[in-house]
Structure 1
């Protein structure tokens, strides 16, 4: 099975969600099912069926998280010597050569990606174009609006 790259922050987020599902959500669903059973006929008991459906979603998510954590390769970028190269976990500042617009992204695992927080997936076109490049390199990245030329102006391992 292929290992999934994950930052320390990403692993903590998944472990916290797993803990919440097991200690808060799962017991509440079990209580909801027990309460709905007390209402009698299960065939026409909407609360019972809704609680059973929630139980299915919860158990599925627990299994999904456990599988991801079992194959996770947690990478602590702060423990790697910064040689100016863009790698998984790095925080990269790039400059759009045409517009002079500057943007900073952190390259993270799929589960952590959130463009609103400038966290981009290692599998995104931008990240794939940046990985292995270095400060002062120029890269051409295919975007929905065509190819855009960027210059890497800073790489941090934070």
Structure 2
């Protein structure tokens, strides 16, 4: 499995979820299975089957998170020297040259992307069009509705 980039905050969020799954969800499910077993016949015991199904989903998610964290290359953009270039992890302020609207995005790993929070995946068309460009440059980004030009107003390491 190759390394893929992840921000420090993204890694912390996965670690918190992993801790919750292991320390809260696992014991709850174990208790639910034990309680359901006490009810008798397991073949027709809906509570038992539901708890076993939930256990399978939790264990799969634990394995998924552990795999992602072990394959992650955690990048702390605040520790990198400021160059004005758009790189993974930076927050970039853009001006859409067609509409004159300003927008701010943080370029993050695929698992962390959340458009509602203005966190875009490094593999998204906008991020791919911005990576390597510098403040003041114009980036032409291919979108489903055509090419959009953005002026890079500011690059922040936050």
Matches of residues 6-21 of structure 1 in structure 2 within 5 Å? 6-21=6-21
1:75 aligns with 2:75: yes
Matches of residues 69-148 of structure 1 in structure 2 within 5 Å? 69-148=69-148
TM-score, scaled relative to structure 2: 0.98
1:111 alignment partner, SS class: helix
Could you tell me which runs of 5 or more consecutive residues in structure 2 were left unpaired when the two chains were aligned. none
Count matched residues.
Answer: 158
CA distance in 1, matches of 2:61, 2:4: 17
CA distance in 2, matches of 1:143, 1:43: 53
Q: C-alpha root-mean-square deviation of aligned residues, in Å?
A: 0.7
2:111 alignment partner, SS class: coil
State the partner residue of 1:47. Answer: 47
TM-score, scaled relative to structure 1: 0.98
CA distance in 1, matches of 2:137, 2:56: 49
2:88 alignment partner, SS class: coil
2:22 alignment partner, SS class: helix
1:31 aligns with 2:31: yes
The alpha-carbon deviation at position 111 of structure 1 amounts to: 1.3
CA distance in 2, matches of 1:150, 1:125: 12
State the partner residue of 2:157. Answer: 157
CA distance in 1, matches of 2:55, 2:73: 29
Render the CA deviation track for 1:18-39: whole Å, top value 9, x for unaligned. 0000000011001001101111
1:47 alignment partner, SS class: helix
The alpha-carbon deviation at position 144 of structure 1 amounts to: 2.2
The alpha-carbon deviation at position 143 of structure 1 amounts to: 1.5
CA distance in 2, matches of 1:91, 1:125: 16
The alpha-carbon deviation at position 115 of structure 1 amounts to: 0.7
CA distance in 1, matches of 2:149, 2:86: 16
User: Following TM superposition, where does structure 1 have runs of at least 4 consecutive aligned residues deviating by more than 4 angstroms?
Assistant: none
1:58 alignment partner, SS class: helix
